Chain A
């Protein structure tokens, strides 16, 4: 729904206020009309300029279309006061009301802002507010004058043209002044202490120039060579005082021009009446359009500047209050922005000169990369410089020394830098965000250390418990004691598995899990691992198919761990028993190994998360088989460290197939992991 100028305010207007407004409109219309009639052209009815059109349009735009009866009454009273027949007065009143209601309605539909502070508002106002509806008004009015015998048939066209121009000029000249001065100003163009003096000077000079031009001082006939001397002052008022200045200026200037011309004085007088009208109207139209368009352009620009300044201010405050350091550099490595947090991170005092280039910033401290901490970074190795060089985002973890309260310590910073490209993909600079991760890193270290020590400390007592149970078992005790000892061993094994898993997860997450690869014939590990898994079940039969004697270069113990995890899951999640198939399929570069069960499958909702660490599918269901939920996570990580892949196919209540690949040759000896894979 298009919202008019004062739509929100209109809803709360009381009847008494509406009435006062109506009376005001009638009074203004009558006074404006009488003034206009002073410049009458035909029988006191058709005038040079018809100010009431502008008054009525402004009133309907500001106070709402429901004020149309006041406009109609005013128009009737004015026309009747000229002694026109009642029917003619009614016809004229109708045409005058019709044109402003149409104009106001169209403008509201177009979403006009009464400040007229956008170029589109000015264009809409001129086209569909002033020029278009007044054509209709003039046609209806002239027709009514013709029908009541006031205007003879031969002069219809001429009267209609003069009527149209008079109404259109009335709307163009008067309405903007009323609208802009009645509407609160949202964007102030001119600021400062001397504003009032400047306004007096500008308008004083404009008045003087107008009087000089139109009072006939220079010449009383023909075009005044100084006619355009007013334009600098019109522009001054528009540029410095926005739309209010522009509207007031053109009201003043055209008012003077109309008055002198009507009095047969000045450059537009002393020619034929038609020519005089043409001069005046074209001149007024140029003045109005120039001043309003200039005023709108200036206000729009000022509004955009205000908006940009406000956003810049907001951004500055946001950047200075955020916990991350932010640095922006242009493509010549000059620093264009450095926020307050960055000062803190680098221990920069606000008083000393700010670093202006990346070189200066780098020189303020010693930056080291955690991956190569021996050598301090050069400027071209800073993430910002790298991002500009590569044209891609760059992430690094840097070490920065910082002198704290009395103690020298180091802080860890995660730096993410990204290049800034313009729309033509030209490099304009780069931005880097620096985050202090010292605390997080310390916490992570403490956590990993705790897991490492706890797991380590658990292993020896578990070895003792298991060893003694096994030792007693070796002395062939009676059956009841035997099964109790076996239970102790199973419990100890379970603790051992959990601690091993915890250690693996911890080491995977800090990228410290090491591989010890060597050439392994798969047949040497598949059989023993399968039989070991089969020992724990009587309901399942494990089959090994395919070309099992393939040789791969892998960490044998880790691959056995992967197989164990897959087989253990296959047994766990096929509670009804059935065949479990391990299939080996060698290719040129890799060997593909799959483990298929005929069990319960993986529910669709869990499939995406099945490889997540600590995720347990079937958790809380009848199929919940316990566990840490790390088996598949560790298995896939191990496979990936070998350069392989792991995936699955599954169907609920039909079973799952987990497949992984192992390369026939491994590229990195110890499976040292890339930085990008490192988990924080």
Chain B
């Protein structure tokens, strides 16, 4: 079993860099995208275990990405919505995401959520 792969989809470069650094430091295999379209390409290249998804982005936003992703790849990866929106939780429900984290968040919170989601994602595959 290799390192868990995490895709970060976030248009704010500073925040994205922070997330990439911290998750890489925590031992994950991290890739990144600045919008939904780049993220779809990245997914085509290599399917992640978990996608951290911002909602408001240029070119292709989180909603469109999620529906495209689910159409093309079903629930191959778990999606965690990172949203600044007031109704983040309802958005997360609408697009069929697995969890949601309000911005701003504590890094500990993020790390805990990521590891929990990854664990759930791995669960069926970890069977004998």
CA distance A470 to B56 in the complex (A): 24
Contact status A514-B89, CB under 8 Å = yes
Contact with A along B89-114 (1 / 0, CB 8 A): 11001000000001111110000000
A461 proximity list for chain B (CB < 8 A)? 12
Does A101 reach chain B (CB closer than 8 Å)?
Answer: no
Does A496 reach chain B (CB closer than 8 Å)?
Answer: yes
Given A470-B106, A471-B22, A496-B104, A463–B15 Cβ distance below 8 Å? yes
Contact status B104-A492, CB under 8 Å = yes
Contact status B86-A467, CB under 8 Å = no
CA distance A455 to B107 in the complex (A): 21
Taking CB as reference atom, which chain A residue is nearest B16?
A464
Chain B interface residue number, banded = 20 to 34
Contact status A514-B84, CB under 8 Å = no
Given A456-B56, A459-B103, A462-B104, A467–B84 Cβ distance below 8 Å? no
Find the residue from B14, B56, B93, B104 having the highest chain A CB count within 10 A. B104
Interface residues of B in 55-109 (CB under 8 A from A): 56, 84-87, 89-90, 93, 102-107
A452 proximity list for chain B (CB < 8 A)? 86
Find the residue from A459, A466, A467, A557 having the highest chain B CB count within 10 A. A467
A462 proximity list for chain B (CB < 8 A)? 103-104
In the complex, how many angstroms separate the beta carbon of B114 from the nearest chain A beta carbon?
14
Contact status B84-A456, CB under 8 Å = yes
Contact status A460-B12, CB under 8 Å = yes
Contact status A459-B107, CB under 8 Å = no
Given A456-B84, A464-B14, A512-B87, A471–B103 Cβ distance below 8 Å? no
Does A503 reach chain B (CB closer than 8 Å)?
Answer: yes
Find the residue from B21, B93, B103 having the highest chain A CB count within 10 A. B103
Contact status B90-A467, CB under 8 Å = no
Contact status B86-A471, CB under 8 Å = no
Contact status B107-A514, CB under 8 Å = no
Taking CB as reference atom, which chain B residue is nearest A503?
B86
Taking CB as reference atom, which chain B residue is nearest A495?
B104
CA distance A457 to B106 in the complex (A): 18
Taking CB as reference atom, which chain B residue is nearest A466?
B104
Does B18 reach chain A (CB closer than 8 Å)?
Answer: yes
Taking CB as reference atom, which chain B residue is nearest A670?
B90
In the complex, how many angstroms separate the beta carbon of B53 from the nearest chain A beta carbon?
14
Interface residues of A in 449-491 (CB under 8 A from B): 452, 455-464, 466-468, 470-471, 474
Contact status A467-B104, CB under 8 Å = yes
Contact status B105-A463, CB under 8 Å = yes
In the complex, how many angstroms separate the beta carbon of B65 from the nearest chain A beta carbon?
17
Contact status B104-A463, CB under 8 Å = yes
CA distance A504 to B18 in the complex (A): 28
Contact status A463-B86, CB under 8 Å = no
Contact with B along A316-331 (1 / 0, CB 8 A): 0000000000000000
Does A516 reach chain B (CB closer than 8 Å)?
Answer: yes
Contact status A464-B22, CB under 8 Å = no
CA distance A456 to B85 in the complex (A): 6
Taking CB as reference atom, which chain A residue is nearest B85?
A456
A148 proximity list for chain B (CB < 8 A)? none
Given A460-B12, A467-B15, A514–B104 Cβ distance below 8 Å? no
CA distance A504 to B43 in the complex (A): 36
A468 proximity list for chain B (CB < 8 A)? 14, 18
Does A264 reach chain B (CB closer than 8 Å)?
Answer: no
CA distance A227 to B116 in the complex (A): 117
B104 proximity list for chain A (CB < 8 A)? 459, 462-463, 466-467, 492-493, 496
B12 proximity list for chain A (CB < 8 A)? 460-461, 464
In the complex, how many angstroms separate the beta carbon of A296 from the nearest chain B beta carbon?
74
B93 proximity list for chain A (CB < 8 A)? 516
In the complex, how many angstroms separate the beta carbon of B107 from the nearest chain A beta carbon?
5
In the complex, how many angstroms separate the beta carbon of A669 from the nearest chain B beta carbon?
12
Given A466-B104, A467-B107, A471-B22, A460–B15 Cβ distance below 8 Å? yes
Given A464-B14, A467-B107, A470-B106, A459–B84 Cβ distance below 8 Å? yes
Contact status B15-A507, CB under 8 Å = no
In the complex, how many angstroms separate the beta carbon of B52 from the nearest chain A beta carbon?
12
Taking CB as reference atom, which chain B residue is nearest A512?
B87
CA distance A309 to B105 in the complex (A): 71
CA distance A474 to B89 in the complex (A): 29
Interface residues of A in 411-464 (CB under 8 A from B): 452, 455-464
Taking CB as reference atom, which chain B residue is nearest A496?
B104
Given A456-B56, A459-B104, A470-B107, A464–B18 Cβ distance below 8 Å? yes
Interface residues of A in 371-405 (CB under 8 A from B): none
Contact with A along B15-26 (1 / 0, CB 8 A): 100110110000
CA distance A260 to B22 in the complex (A): 129
Taking CB as reference atom, which chain B residue is nearest A516?
B89
Given A463-B103, A467-B104, A456–B15 Cβ distance below 8 Å? no
A455 proximity list for chain B (CB < 8 A)? 84, 86
CA distance A470 to B85 in the complex (A): 22
Taking CB as reference atom, which chain B residue is nearest A504?
B86
Contact status B107-A471, CB under 8 Å = yes
Taking CB as reference atom, which chain A residue is nearest B104?
A463
B22 proximity list for chain A (CB < 8 A)? 467, 471, 474
CA distance A457 to B83 in the complex (A): 11
CA distance A55 to B107 in the complex (A): 107
CA distance A504 to B88 in the complex (A): 13
Taking CB as reference atom, which chain A residue is nearest B15?
A464
Contact status A456-B107, CB under 8 Å = no
Taking CB as reference atom, which chain B residue is nearest A468?
B18
CA distance A514 to B92 in the complex (A): 13
In the complex, how many angstroms separate the beta carbon of A220 from the nearest chain B beta carbon?
109
Of A460, A496, A514, A557, which contacts B87 at CB under 8 A? A514
CA distance A464 to B103 in the complex (A): 9
CA distance A426 to B107 in the complex (A): 69
CA distance A463 to B14 in the complex (A): 10
In the complex, how many angstroms separate the beta carbon of B27 from the nearest chain A beta carbon?
14
CB-defined A-B contacts under 8 Å, sample of 27: A455-B86, A456-B56, A456-B84, A458-B84, A459-B84, A459-B103, A460-B12, A460-B103, A462-B103, A462-B104, A463-B15, A463-B84, A467-B19, A467-B104, A467-B105, A468-B18, A471-B107, A474-B107, A493-B104, A496-B104, A504-B86, A506-B86, A507-B86, A512-B87, A514-B87, A514-B90, A557-B89
Other A-B pairs beyond A460-B12, A463-B103, A470-B107, 5, CB < 8 Å: A459-B103, A459-B104, A464-B15, A464-B18, A471-B18
Please give me the 9 A-B residue pairs with the lowest Cβ-Cβ distance, nearest first. A459-B84, A463-B104, A463-B103, A459-B103, A503-B86, A462-B104, A467-B18, A464-B15, A470-B107
